[in-house]
Amino acid sequence: MSEQDDNSGELTLEHRILIQVRQVLASVVRDVTPLPGMQSPLSPGTIEDIRGCFALISARERELSGKKDPDLPVFSDDGATTRIVDFNKPED
């Protein structure tokens, strides 16, 4: 994968674990996905749980990469730095 930890250029152990879990979960889903017209061997609850797992993995990978969640509100003063300017009248 090309995703890297910002500090060292290498993936952290947690990030590598997340990548591996996502890949294995995707492989399991592909293996049990039925052909069109056939019934899924998974219950609807299990399918929702798998979707939830993918969502959690994605959210944590975004946190690790430092990117903000695009669904969160953005405020106009986010990230703005405050500068204090001293307006002293010069002495004559």
Taking only the tens place, the pLDDT of each residue in 3-45 is: 444 455 688 899 999 999 999 999 999 999 999 999 999 999 9
Instruction: Please name the residue that has the structure tokens 């798998």.
Output: 50
Tens of pLDDT, residues 61-87? 988 887 666 666 666 666 666 666 667
Q: What is the pLDDT of residue 91?
A: 77
pLDDT at residue 1, as a whole number = 42
Q: What angle do CA 70, 15, 24 make, to 5 degrees?
A: 100
Enter the tokens of residue 69: 């969640």
pLDDT at 81: 64
Tell me what the pLDDT averaged over the chain comes to: 81
